Structure 1
Amino acid sequence: MKTDFKFSNLLGTVYRKGNLLFSPDGTCLLSPVGNRVTVFDLVNNKSYTLPLSHRKNIVRLDLNPQGNLLLTVDEDGRAILTNFKRRIVIYYMSFKGSVDALKFSPSGLHFAVAIGRRLQLWQTPSVPGTDAGGELEFAPFVLHKELTGHFDAIQNIEWSSDSRFILTSSKDLTARVWSLNPEEGFEPTTLSGHRQSVKAAYFAADQESIYTVSEDGALFRWEYATKRLENEVEGEARWRIMKKDFFIQNDAKLKCAAFHAPSNLLVVGFSNGLFGLYELPEFNNIHTLSVSQSNIDFVTFNKSGEWLAFGSSKLGQLLVWEWQSESYILKQQGHLDSLNSLVYSADGQRVITSADDGKIKVWDTSSGFCIVTFTEHTAAVTDCKFSKKGNVLYTSSLDGSVRAWDLIRYRNFRTFTAPTRLGFTSLAVDPSGEVVCAGSHDSFDIHVWSVQTGQLLDRLAGHEGPVVALAFAADGSNLVSGSWDRTLRIWSIFGRSQTSEPLQMQSDVLSVDFRPDGKQIAASSLDGQLSFWNVFEAVQDSSIEGRRDVSGGRKISDRRTAANAEGTKSFTRIAYSADGSCLLAAGNSKYICLYDVITGSLVKKFTVSVNTSLDGTQEYLNSKNMTEAGPRELIDETGEASDLEDRINSTLPGAKRGDAGERKTRPEIRVSAVSFSPTGRSFCAATTEGLLIYSLDTDFVFDPFDLDINITPDSILDTLEEAKASSSATSTEEASYLKALVMAFRLNEAPLIRTVYESISHADIPHIVRSIPQAYLSRFIRFIAHSTDETPHLEFNLLWIESILGVHGRYLKDFNGQLAPELRALQRVLDDFRESLKRLTERNQYDLDYLLSKPILASRKMKYALAIDESVPAEEETADSLSVADDGQGEWMGLE
């Protein structure tokens, strides 16, 4: 099994804090998610996460006007400059202070950074590999100028359209106008008059006016005018307030604003979840709508001014709204609380997550979007399982119910309850879909229900502690349960007697899983051990000491080092790989461990996050952050805030799993669930950061196979040209095509493989398949599955699939365990095509029925009747005469 998994995408969380940003073409939206950046492609309906990761949460990001440089800054002022189009990190930089605002100039030559009350202007680094870039720079960040004048933190920066002037707004109730370079006759100007902090200030399109917006909902319009005052002999030219307008929103504070100068549109967001869209300078209210139950933290326009993006950090909401059609382009929201479990669908296309907020979300792995949310549970959802057949999902909850969901119609069609009120914490579903089992902390019995009738069939007694883990064998013959009474029990649900075989463990059981062939059980216990048991002989095969592997990371309240804290670490979730050769294990740690089952060795260790905003990611603590009152990060400083809503803390004392988006307390890094995809090409981890996907299929990884010096892209293309040219000898042509195909697979460049693959004639497919080496068969099947999913050549791909199954059917059957991921991927794409063809056929059938039943006018029918009676000569009855428009006097009649 290949183990070179790379971080692929981040789901489950769409927005944490900071500013949102549209790409220059207006088709993509960039959102800071913790210490990473997620890009939402609004046109192609996909999302991906950039490979960069900060040491703390990102608070500011901006793109240069060309769209190739992305600058991101975290809470400590550390910046990363990234080539956005190629997704490559270029430079690292520290601004040595908290950054509150960041903005590139329209010319792209400079960018402005607000560090407290200081405004710094920097030269934009050149991009290596471009015409303007040239060689790498020794000092890419060059400070152009530093400006001071504000008495409090700067909150917003705006540039003039010609990149000559900068407009800043501050908490000191003023806005200031600066110049990039010395201008003749210009002096820095202060715009004062607001009674609360100025949230934003903007230049009008003609740069003759300035708009300033304050936190109390006041909008001032400034103009550079000459006006004679009472004590002046001559008129003085300066910026003056020409108009005052006010947003009346009761006690709600103005939280954010955005201005689109070409269309003179201003949008403002309030702390009560409302936003208002206004047309300036007349101050006409176009819309006032509620988009969130919490305050709106950021709002922005795209380049054309048609789309508005809203972000709410408390609820983790991200919205893109088209104001002209009043419709949502994007509406996404992550879980409000900690993730508890996850499961892949049978085809691997969807991931289902459940959390403490009582919600169940279904995520599309290809697009990265949440496609449906179930909210019927009234308490935390603790576990979720998919049935092997059909699109049925089962979930258990602390509200005392187990629910079954139809993922075709998206509805809850069955609810299972116990005679007494229990909170269910573990769940298992029979592969045939006939029975569902659940365990509870409140009862030591395992409850078994019939899926068809919804009735409670049995209560399996035997455990002397809470049942925390359940798993069915792949053939449904056995059920294994793990309990805090330090035992595993194997049950035969469909046997004549409901006896169980107890397996004694050394400590409390935390998680269990069946190997896909049903012959082995893996169990993790509280002492950090991983135990492997033979099902048929009921003996322990082997064990792995995992405490040292899972230990790592130190909480800021820890009084001992991370190395000495291994006694408290253990694996809370384990999962077998698709072929059963490896085991994935994770727990309350920043590490995910991948073990080889046969040798018991640690194959690879994955670091979940390096975000130090989370507790448990640091190996060493800084002694400077330790005060007499305890760690500095745990001291609640909200009482010093100026606003009442910022001082109110509704979390319970000592709560560590509260509102993760609010960040009142430091959330602890941990992995609550892991699962391999059915294809074995990726795995998911439910973490504090969100839903992390690690995949082998990344476009940026070069992974050659049996490569030598003679195999290059040029040599492969030359071989392909020889095959096309040698049309005289059929055997020579087939050999050349096969040689080119094998060379392309050895180089393993997907575009090159596709070029050779699509150049082969459909008549040569059986001969090529018959001669392909078996060492390349798994790679070839995987490639055809991806090609069938991504290209429109349906019949061509089906011919390849038919030839492979016909020629190599015996080999595929004998080695179905090793080739299971490839065969599942092939089955998935074929099922998708079958469903799409079925929908297309049904739609065409409806179109044909409509066309056949479409009525015609009676006057046109009369023409046909006259032509048939020969009262009108046939030569005069032309197509032109039949296509003459009706005069509107005829009646509608159906076709006979």
Structure 2
Amino acid sequence: MYANSQFSNLCGTVYTRGNLCFTPDGNSLLSPVGNRLSLFDLVNNKSITFPFENQKNISRIALSPNANILLSVDEDGRVLLVNFQRRIVLHEFNFKSPVTDVQFSPDGKFFGVALGKNIQVWKSPGLSREFAPFVMHHKYTGHYDEVTSITWSTDSRFFLSTSKDMTAKLHSLFPIEDFATVTLSGHKNYVIGAYFSKDQNMIYTVSKDGALFIWKFTSPQTLTEDDEQHEEMDIDDVEPELSKSKRWTISSRHYFNQSGAKVICSAYHASSNLLVVGFSSGIFGIWEMPEFNNIHTLSISQKAIDSVTINSTGEWLAFGSSKLGQLLVWEWQSESYVLKQQGHYYDMNTLSYSSDGQNIATGGDDGKVKVWNTMSGFCFVTFSEHTSGVSVVEFSKNGHVLFSASLDGTVRAFDLIRYRNFRTFTSPSPVQFTSLAVDPSGEIVCAGSMDTFEIFVWSVQTGKLLDIMAGHEGPISGLTFSPTGLLVASSSWDSTVRVWNVFERSKHVEVFRHTSDVLTVVFRPDGKQLASSTLDGQITFWNVENGDQVGTVEGRKDISGGRKANDRTTAANSSSGKSFNSICYTADGSCVISGGNSKYICLYDVKEKLLIKKYQISHNLSLDGIQEFLNSKYMTEAGPLDLIDQSGDLSDLEDRLDTSLPGTQKGDLSVRKTRPEIRTKCVKFSPTGRSWAAASTEGLLIYSLDELLLFDPFDLEMDITPSSILKTLNSKDYLKALVMSFRLNERYIIRQVYETIPPDDIELVVKDLPEKYIDKFFKFIAVNIEESPHLEFHLLWIIKLLTTHGKYLKQRSNEFSTILRLLQKGVGKVQEDIAKL
């Protein structure tokens, strides 16, 4: 069952680099996250990450005007052609050099690609019968340096290109008699963007140094003396057809006057005449054209704004800042945020599921604790009280309190109702906390230290230190309470796992000895078994009552894989990343899932001690440790080509400056040439048993068991068909129709039968319902309650099922625990929505 988990969402990261793109209806925003794409539905407040991956980090995306075709281009120029509605990759293609911009024409028949100094225009696939998905229309040359942007005219007949050679050019898509390419020159720095006005009689060009030129298509006779001093075009560049009567000239110059800040990005909305400009200081401004009236100037972050875009109605502006991993959608008329999200600034270290599986808390090296909603994929609260990296986070059993342990020497308790830090626990002398455990009642919290090798026990009510448990001879790497709450197990680098009874006076300690350093320890959900992971790649299972070892899993070969760019040895002989630093039992205790410093996550069967499935969490070649074999052509005398710092070759002084402090390991991440390494810091199974999550270099990856697309009948017979079920339903034999629909197991039919049964007959149907269908019925209601408006109807069914079959459920509490938690999650979500009303 658990081997069927599929990638479902990516939280924890909202934007990494590249351009943002609104869908044509203006309600959703596409954002590149590493080598994946996330879609943020701003109206329904949900986020989805597409299942496909590019080979490397995405640098440009473009969506066709009818929202059918999506182009996603990575930093090497490899492009994926995607069916946007079905989210399926149709074709892969390589432009063979980095792409700086890609734009569809407004009629959707062509798209322009900026490659180096040239522009290639290709025919859009799927509009006519062709043998190749990509057919080139024409290649345009003329720029002397890299092209920075492409903008189409509204009638799709012309397009503007801007370049680092400080000019913009006006090209015609099809040959027009006596028309030659028009060059618009006069700027003193790179031209970032050029835009047509709505009537196409004006062109606005924006340069990096903060200058805006407005060009008009006028006849020379109408020029004033002042205008004639402006730069004009060379006669061969002017439209010869109209050269005697009309030409493009500068009508006015304007300056943004942001002291010292450079323009990084800009966007223009033709129908409302709005120009939005983002600066390197984190400030953005909105100007009304052509009068150049400043509507807003606001600072939204401390770092440069990398991408800005405007939706089709002109109401929402989207901003992305790659250095902070920040994504903002701003409604400029009401001056409010529609969306404000930011991932962890550095690595994500740890995660924890709430008891209903609805929320996930994460802690990172940036000292922040964030709580994410699994349904929407959004972060709804961030706690930034810690002053150093957060090593562990843990929810209390009731889900209202979140605990976190940090290397700053504090354990903090956060109230998730009022969103505040209400308790701070510290040790008598400062230590770094690396592990944390909370007992099931939420009264006691324990934390293990890195340097004194002691375990500290506090009371949550009073905040007082109750006990210090000493005995380990190495840093404490893991702590866990048993589900009964009487025992706490600790693992340490001294090769032992110790089981303590916190509430007894005798302080008897059971010691389980291992052959190597123990990295983590975890209890099975029933509390009768322990699993521990050691540095030599083994997972060892222990019987807690007898203290016996009941089995081991040799995982060294399963998890190892991936060679880093500067490794001297092959992936097979490398010693790093060959152990599990995080393990977790599934909700029913039948399997264990484990991850470590590699690209793999392994799922093992506990009873048989066998590997069931290996998940590769990413295929992103921009990360280190993805490839098994390195290509010798990327090896130079100075080392691997990827790691050679080429920032000294950049032409701009601000790009060459390294603003990170000397000696820092984690300075300015965008300047360092070391690539982030692929690794899994933490894996956890959801208490509902339907999904699991991994905190990795890529972000928070969520995998779930999605059975909606499968035809999976149960005890099916020849005479059970949709028509026979509806016939039985019409004859008012409700129980028989319900059982038949469960046997066919088609969700839409179960729903039709379920909603047709009158409320007065619910009790009779539940009384005679065979017990083997109860789990299917609960699962159906749990999924349906979130989507359907019939709230009282669902609650009537749940009450009758629980009261009538309560004894049966109690006898099989292990089997039904995950289903009941799923039901609790659904009811809780509805309760929250009603409470808001």
Within 1, Cα distance between the matches of 2:719 and 2:27? 39
**Would you say 1:676 and 2:673 are equivalent positions?**
no
Q: Cα distance, 1:316 vs. partner?
A: 0.6
Pair 838,41 (structure 1): closer, same or farther in 2 beyond 3 Å: closer
Which residue identity does 2:800 align to in structure 1? S
**Would you say 1:597 and 2:588 are equivalent positions?**
no
Which residue identity does 2:747 align to in structure 1? A
- Would you say the 8 A contact 1:656–1:667 is kept in 2? no
**Would you say 1:726 and 2:731 are equivalent positions?**
yes
Structure 1 residues 71-82: aligned runs within 5 Å: 71-82=71-82
| 1:777 aligned residue | 774
Q: Secondary structure at the match of 2:795?
A: helix
**Would you say 1:361 and 2:391 are equivalent positions?**
no
Which residue identity does 1:704 align to in structure 2? D
Deviates more, 1:279-288 or 1:703-712: 703-712
Within 1, Cα distance between the matches of 2:582 and 2:478? 9
- Would you say the 8 A contact 2:354–2:399 is kept in 1? no
Within 1, Cα distance between the matches of 2:53 and 2:192? 29
Q: Cα distance, 1:439 vs. partner?
A: 0.9
- Would you say the 8 A contact 1:57–1:74 is kept in 2? yes
| 1:855 aligned residue | none
| 1:152 aligned residue | 145
Return the match for 1:763 from 760, 763, 773. Answer: 760
Q: Cα distance, 1:773 vs. partner?
A: 4.3
Pair 124,214 (structure 1): closer, same or farther in 2 beyond 3 Å: same
| 1:894 aligned residue | none
Deviates more, 1:801-810 or 1:414-423: 801-810
Pair 709,625 (structure 1): closer, same or farther in 2 beyond 3 Å: farther
**Would you say 1:697 and 2:690 are equivalent positions?**
no
| Percent of aligned pairs sharing the same letter | 56
RMSD: 2.0
Pair 182,832 (structure 1): closer, same or farther in 2 beyond 3 Å: closer
Q: Cα distance, 1:72 vs. partner?
A: 0.6
Q: Secondary structure at the match of 1:819?
A: helix
Which residue identity does 1:722 align to in structure 2? K
Deviations 1:601-633 (A, max 9, x none): 011111110000000111121111000100000
Larger radius of gyration: 1
Structure 1 residues 156-305: aligned runs within 5 Å: 156-227=149-220, 235=244, 237-305=246-314
- Would you say the 8 A contact 1:719–1:736 is kept in 2? no
Q: Cα distance, 1:368 vs. partner?
A: 0.8
Structure 1 residues 434-445: aligned runs within 5 Å: 434-445=443-454
Q: Secondary structure at the match of 2:655?
A: helix
Q: Cα distance, 1:826 vs. partner?
A: 1.5
Within 2, Cα distance between the matches of 1:364 and 1:390? 13
Pair 115,183 (structure 1): closer, same or farther in 2 beyond 3 Å: same
Within 2, Cα distance between the matches of 1:3 and 1:811? 29
Q: Secondary structure at the match of 2:478?
A: strand
Q: Cα distance, 1:554 vs. partner?
A: 1.1
- Would you say the 8 A contact 1:265–1:277 is kept in 2? yes
- Would you say the 8 A contact 2:373–2:380 is kept in 1? yes
| 1:324 aligned residue | 333
| 1:810 aligned residue | 807
Which residue identity does 1:621 align to in structure 2? L
Deviations 1:431-477 (A, max 9, x none): 11121111111111111111111111111011111111100000111
Q: Cα distance, 1:291 vs. partner?
A: 0.7
Pair 811,341 (structure 1): closer, same or farther in 2 beyond 3 Å: same
- Would you say the 8 A contact 1:200–1:213 is kept in 2? yes
Which residue identity does 1:170 align to in structure 2? S
Within 2, Cα distance between the matches of 1:71 and 1:835? 39
Within 1, Cα distance between the matches of 2:149 and 2:268? 12
- Would you say the 8 A contact 2:738–2:753 is kept in 1? no
Q: Cα distance, 1:660 vs. partner?
A: 5.0
Structure 1 residues 609-624: aligned runs within 5 Å: 609-624=618-633
Deviations 1:623-678 (A, max 9, x none): 11000100000101111112222112244789775555666420000000111111
Unaligned runs of 5+ in 1: 127-131, 728-732, 841-896
Pair 574,657 (structure 1): closer, same or farther in 2 beyond 3 Å: farther
Structure 1 residues 295-444: aligned runs within 5 Å: 295-444=304-453
Q: Cα distance, 1:81 vs. partner?
A: 1.4
Q: Cα distance, 1:480 vs. partner?
A: 0.4
Q: Cα distance, 1:2 vs. partner?
A: 3.4
Within 2, Cα distance between the matches of 1:301 and 1:835? 33
Within 2, Cα distance between the matches of 1:808 and 1:219? 74
**Would you say 1:738 and 2:738 are equivalent positions?**
yes
Pair 790,771 (structure 1): closer, same or farther in 2 beyond 3 Å: same
| 2:481 aligned residue | 472
Within 2, Cα distance between the matches of 1:90 and 1:723? 44
Within 2, Cα distance between the matches of 1:414 and 1:662? 38
| 2:784 aligned residue | 787
Pair 707,560 (structure 1): closer, same or farther in 2 beyond 3 Å: farther
TM-score normalized by the length of structure 1: 0.89
Which residue identity does 2:567 align to in structure 1? D
Within 1, Cα distance between the matches of 2:151 and 2:834? 52
Within 1, Cα distance between the matches of 2:601 and 2:665? 22
| 2:39 aligned residue | 39
Which residue identity does 1:7 align to in structure 2? F
Q: Cα distance, 1:149 vs. partner?
A: 1.1
- Would you say the 8 A contact 1:428–1:436 is kept in 2? yes
**Would you say 1:823 and 2:820 are equivalent positions?**
yes
Q: Secondary structure at the match of 1:437?
A: strand
Pair 56,832 (structure 1): closer, same or farther in 2 beyond 3 Å: closer
Q: Cα distance, 1:787 vs. partner?
A: 1.3
Which residue identity does 1:325 align to in structure 2? S
| 2:615 aligned residue | 606
- Would you say the 8 A contact 1:343–1:353 is kept in 2? yes
Pair 153,113 (structure 1): closer, same or farther in 2 beyond 3 Å: same
**Would you say 1:646 and 2:655 are equivalent positions?**
yes
Pair 446,725 (structure 1): closer, same or farther in 2 beyond 3 Å: closer
Pair 486,254 (structure 1): closer, same or farther in 2 beyond 3 Å: same
Pair 838,258 (structure 1): closer, same or farther in 2 beyond 3 Å: closer
Q: Cα distance, 1:498 vs. partner?
A: 1.6
TM-score normalized by the length of structure 2: 0.95
Within 2, Cα distance between the matches of 1:348 and 1:45? 19
Q: Secondary structure at the match of 1:16?
A: coil
Unaligned runs of 5+ in 2: 222-227, 236-242
Q: Secondary structure at the match of 1:558?
A: coil
Q: Secondary structure at the match of 1:263?
A: coil
Q: Secondary structure at the match of 1:3?
A: helix
